[in-house]
Amino acid sequence: MPFHHTRLPNGLSIIGETSPSARSVAIGFFVRTGSRDETVPEAGVSHFLEHMMFKGTPRRTAEQVNLDFDRIGSSPNAYTSEENTVYYAAGLPEYLPQMVDILGDILRPSLRDDDFNTEKKVIIEEIKMYEDQPGSVAGENARRIYYGGHPLGNSVLGTQESVGALTRDQMQAYFTRRYAANNIILSVAGNYDWNQLVSLATAACSGWNTAEVGRTHRTEWSGVGGLHVLTRPKVQQEYALFLAGGPPADSKMRYAADTMALAVGDDSGSHLYWALIDPGLADSADCSYYENDGSGIVYASFTSELEQAESNLRIVRKVLADVQRNGLTADELKLAKSKITSRWVRGSERPMGRMNAIASMWAYTGEYRDVDKELANYDAVTLDDVRAYLDKYPVDRLTTVAFGPATELEGVAGKVV
């Protein structure tokens, strides 16, 4: 599948992978901004702004945005993370001009006062609803504690107080600063003509501003350590998370980290599966590696009844200590690599999967890797690579956060939240 790249004079990066055999095309604007790029008074503005993008532009009302997508049978959506805000759609190749035009248009929203005030109420209600999801709240608190004052610990949603105090002028200033063309990647994959895409993007985006855009605190982080017990009396089960440092997204060690995490905590046939799930000690248990700009992280977790929580804490620590000491076996490494490569191939068969994958690679490394290259990178991971990764980023150097009904675990008193 041929890969293409160009950059408009205003700095917008356009990347694409063409696949004439595909029956659809996927397109996404990746804005390299998220909660880690917000100041304290702006907390939650990235996610709030994502909502505002669909509230109308100088050319379209909110209703017209929805109708224009509906007319071409497209499936638009968006999401905000700590590091990126992404707007995307997929559809039939003949509708690529409309998809570029609509997405390009909404990325220059009107940000009207009435829409801002109305949507603020929606966001605050979303925050309230989020607070009733214990798994998500547990994860956010664990990240906040692990990162301490590092901006990667910032909440994506913000708080009711921060969003409530946010002004339309603050949002406009953030938009102008962070939504500059040179901080955005347009990624496309599937069945389309590259030259036509460049012409469409030039027409839709060449008037966008350029700005000096940077990102602070691109530093590795190993956590604050310790056991932190957060008591939420109305939560029925205990959620425990174990966080350790990992390689950043642009490190070759990310392949060893990903492989190790799957061997430790996949939903079947992993260390945590046999230690907790198979004997019925926990309802769920997993381990994952997450790449970030400048700092990676490994999460292990379990959910169980309160009565099992303390013993399960010890079991997970023992599993991670054993892996840290002994690494993986040859069979475990082979099984993990087989699972990863299978999932990569299946995910890459859809244009949406490739559109996301090449944008992520480009954003973090400035590189393009086709499916074969990515599979080769995983296949090349050796036991020595896993050992080198563990030596640099010990998985037993933990920050542990328990969230749920426990008022005390292992002698640590809980803090009611």
- What are the pLDDT digits (tens) for 4-31? 999 999 999 999 999 999 999 999 999 9
Q: What is the mean pLDDT of residues 95-114?
A: 97
CB 402 within 8 A of CB 238: yes
Provide the residue range defining the domain that includes 322. 226-416
What confidence score (pLDDT) does residue 216 get?
A: 86
d(CA 217, CA 152): 9
How crowded is residue 297: how many other Cβ atoms within 10 Å of its Cβ?
A: 26
The confidence band for 149, taking pLDDT boundaries of 50, 70 and 90, is confident
Mean pLDDT of all residues in the chain? 96
Check: CB of residue 243 under 8 Å from CB of residue 146: yes
Q: Give the mean model confidence (pLDDT) for residues 113-119.
A: 96
Distant-in-sequence, close-in-space partners of 315: CB < 8 Å, separation ≥ 6? 275, 276, 281
Asked if 75 and 171 sit in the same domain, the reply is yes
pLDDT of residue 159: 95
Residues 42/80, Cβ–Cβ less than 8 Å: no
My answer on whether 405 and 300 are in the same domain is: yes
Name which of 78-92, 173-187, 211-225, 302-316 the model is least confident about: 211-225
The percentage of the chain sitting over the pLDDT mark of 90, rounded to a whole number, equals 98
CA distance 150 to 223: 10
Q: Answer whether 283's CB lies under 8 Å from 309's CB.
A: no
Task: Give yes or no: residues 401 and 319 share one domain.
Answer: yes
The pLDDT of 114-118, averaged and rounded, is 96
Average pLDDT over residues 220-225: 94
Residue 221 domain-assigned (yes or no): no
Q: What whole-number distance in Å separates Cα of residue 176 and Cα of residue 206?
A: 15
Final residue belonging to a domain, choices 205, 235, 260: 205
pLDDT band at 414 (very low <50, low <70, confident <90, very high): very high
Q: How far apart are CA 263 and CA 272, in angstroms?
A: 9
Tell me, what CATH number does 42's domain have? 3.30.830.10
If asked whether residues 117 and 22 sit together in one domain, one would say yes
pLDDT tens profile 320-339: 999 999 999 999 999 999 99
Q: Does 303 share its domain with 339?
A: yes
Whether 60 and 192 map to the same domain: the answer is yes
Question: How does strand 415-416 pair with strand 226-231?
Answer: parallel
The span from the CA of 139 to the CA of 162, in Å, is 20
Residues 194 and 232 in one domain: no
Domain co-membership, 283 together with 386: yes
Question: Residue 188: enclosing H or E segment and its boundaries?
Answer: strand 184-190
Confidence of residue 1 (pLDDT cuts 50, 70, 90): confident
Same structural domain for residues 194 and 317? Answer: no
31: β partners: 85, 184
Dihedrals φ, ψ of 36, to 5°? -70, -15
Residue 346 has pLDDT above 90, yes or no: yes
- Count structural domains, the chain: 2
Domain assignment present for residue 211? The answer is no
* Interatomic CA distance for residues 410 and 280, integer angstroms: 22
User: What does the pLDDT average to over 181-201?
Assistant: 98
Say whether both 126 and 236 belong to one domain: no
Does residue 251 sit in the same domain as residue 384?
yes
Q: What is the pLDDT of residue 306?
A: 97
CA 185 → CA 52, 54, 207, 349, distances in Å?
20, 19, 15, 22
Please report the pLDDT score of residue 410 as a whole number. 96
> Domain check: are 243 and 391 in the same one?
yes
Q: What stretch of H or E contains 285?
A: strand 284-290
Residue appearing with tokens 């490190």: 251
Mean pLDDT of 368-384: 96
Quote the percentage of the chain above a pLDDT of 70.
Answer: 100
What is the token pair recorded at 217? Answer: 């605190």
Give me the pLDDT at residue 28, please. 98
- Per-residue confidence (pLDDT) for residue 214, from 0 to 100: 87
